[in-house]
Structure 1
Amino acid sequence: MSHDRNPSQWKVEFVNNLSKEISNSPVSAIVSIKGLRNKQLQSIRRNLSSDMKLRVVRIRLLMKALDKTDKKNIKSLEQFAQGQIGLVTTKLAPSKLYKLFEGTKEKAAARGGETAPDDIVIPEMTTNFPPGPMISEFQKAGIQTAIDKGKIAIKKEILYVKKGEPIPKDKAKILEKLEIHPLTVGLDILGAYSDGILFSREAISITEEQIMLDMARAFSQAKELAVNAMFLVPEIIPQLIVKAKINAEYLALESGFVDESNVQLFILKAIREASALNNAMGNQQEEEKPEKAKEEKTEEKAEDAASDEDKVSEGLGSLFG
């Protein structure tokens, strides 16, 4: 930009160009670029398809561009403009754009100050560092070390930063040296516009599989409700017929009403009841056997005792007879 150019003029041109891009693109999406380094941002730009543009924008200039754009409901897109943002214009549907950006995310090192997305753990490992100044750095960080085959080894796994806590700069340096990348970076869609409709991140993050599952669940619940309410629609008539047949058969069995259509059920019922009765009688007989055996044994003992008494009497008679 030349120094003699009016500083406000480039803003006017930027807003006009941005407004034209929004007008000429079926889909416009606001994305968060927070945490992205310039190198990563340039890499993302290079990998975008030719019909897709990414601009880093200031919120105030974006709002001016939206004001100048003659599209139904487009100004409402500004509600998603928060923090460090970019604007993507494309022909790709919002849901497909979300899927594309999610697939291009990559792990990145922390620089310090970021919030830990998960617990950051340093595992037990042998590093590539020879004995030297790194030992004292590890010790300052509370990491237990030893020397293993000429390399610094971390002796014990350590929870380095808890989930949700800020990552201090000194700890970020240690993590980077250990090639532990706790962050996931990429373009995060905050909201999108297509054909007069606004889409939140939550709406476009729903997958086709999830939609199919939700539809199947809703259909099943609707069928169950219709059956219980006896609301006749073609989808549940076969189910109602089956239910009515089962109820009729049960009622016939309970009332003893026999005809050609249900005689087999009565035969099966009789067989089942006879089998149950037979089992019950068999169990009763099994229970009676020990009692009978016990009684017989008692009788045998009584007979033996009587026999012994007779023998004693005979012996006494021979002595005093």
Structure 2
Amino acid sequence: MRKPAQWKVELVDQVAKEISSSNVTAIVSIKGLRNKQFQDIRKSLRGEVKIRVMRGTLIKKALEKAQKKDIKGLEQFVSGQVAVVTGNIGAPVLYRRLEGTKQRAPARGGEIADHDIVVEAKETSFPPGPMISEFQKVGLQTAIEKGKIVIKKEAVLVKKGEVITPEKAKVLERLEIFPLIVGLDVLGAYEDGIIFTKESLSITPEQVAADVATAFARAKALALRATFMVPEVVPELLAKAKLEADALALAAGFLTESNVQLFILKAIREANALNAALQGGSESPAAEEARGEEKKEEEKSGEEDASAGLSALFG
């Protein structure tokens, strides 16, 4: 068996040490990233993280040698054009930093569009000449106006999922339309024995807060429907019970000290309604006022009983 080159052995050992001494290790895709863009990203992250571009087999060997529990779980992300990123920041922070370094880039041809690429109707900076035929070859409707080539109609030059041809890529670059977003794309990260996927790292604190609020609201609604007595729904349940009890007492003619005012208001309302019916007219202002007073009394009674119920339950 041929002995591996010394530089490979040294590189693997060095990267294994960096992984072992770092808080976070990530496998990132560098597919489609041009050298200048890569150097710009590396420069912007200098002092925060180390980026190692190496073959997948060497990355896997470095992961095997690293003194980290379950670090080999990152091997599942080592495929294609990848690099190793190490640093002493948290995995979510690393993800956000790398996302923040992504840049728009022109297509070269051969890429798959991840969204519809639209060319708007507009005046271009090109004078009449060869560019007219280039535009027309890719399906753009053009005309000459005031000595400039004008794109007359908006067009979807490349639909989502289609391959960007070299001809269309050339036209897009001429029009300064950069459809690609390139950068270090996190595939997976390791921190404190946990493997994080890109999907889990992309969750923001705002999303978590919104999900918790939604879950709480749904749980509370379910508890109310099921009459499940927990502190969060006791006030609403007591108020509901009070209103239902008052309605039942009124319907059954059951008079108590707490609902006598409701009976009086009900009697006034019914008397006025009868009077209005006998006179063939609408309810008098006094009747309307009595109806309003009855409603206020019901609401007040419900609130007072709910407060009293809470005091009794929780002291």
TM-score (norm. length: structure 1): 0.80
The whole-number CA distance in structure 2 between the counterparts of 1:205 and 1:65 is 26
Residues 171-224 of structure 1, C-alpha deviations (whole Å, 9 max, x = no match): 101110111111112222111111001111111111101111111222223333
Residues 80-126 of structure 1, C-alpha deviations (whole Å, 9 max, x = no match): 22321111111221222222222222221110011111111111111
Q: 2:164: which partner in 1?
A: 167
Does 1:254 pair with 2:251? yes
Q: Which amino acid aligns with 2:207?
A: Q
Pick aligned residue for 1:236 from 233, 238, 253 = 233
Does 1:196 pair with 2:187? no
Assess, with a 3 A threshold, how the Cα gap between structure 1 residues 250 and 143 changes in structure 2: closer, same or farther.
same
Give the secondary-structure state (helix, strand or coil) at the position aligned to 1:234: coil
Q: 1:209: which partner in 2?
A: 206
Structure 2: any 5+ residue segments left out of the alignment?
Answer: 283-315
Q: 2:294: which partner in 1?
A: none
Q: Which amino acid aligns with 2:55?
A: R
Residues 244-283 of structure 1, C-alpha deviations (whole Å, 9 max, x = no match): 2223222212221122211232334345545655666676
Q: 2:183: which partner in 1?
A: 186
Q: 1:51: which partner in 2?
A: 48
Does 1:11 pair with 2:8? yes
Which aligned pairs between 1:71-220 and structure 2 lie closer than 5 A? Answer: 71-220=68-217
Assess, with a 3 A threshold, how the Cα gap between structure 1 residues 131 and 68 changes in structure 2: closer, same or farther.
same
Give the secondary-structure state (helix, strand or coil) at the position aligned to 2:5: helix
TM-score (norm. length: structure 2): 0.81
The whole-number CA distance in structure 2 between the counterparts of 1:281 and 1:160 is 78
The alpha carbon displacement at 1:141 in A equals: 2.2
With 24-33 and 48-57 compared, the bigger mean Cα shift is at 48-57
Q: 1:221: which partner in 2?
A: 218
Q: 2:26: which partner in 1?
A: 29
The alpha carbon displacement at 1:143 in A equals: 1.9
Q: Which amino acid aligns with 2:169?
A: A
The alpha carbon displacement at 1:10 in A equals: 1.3
The whole-number CA distance in structure 2 between the counterparts of 1:96 and 1:11 is 31
Give the secondary-structure state (helix, strand or coil) at the position aligned to 2:232: helix
Q: Who wins on radius of gyration, i.e. which is larger?
A: 1
The whole-number CA distance in structure 2 between the counterparts of 1:278 and 1:58 is 95
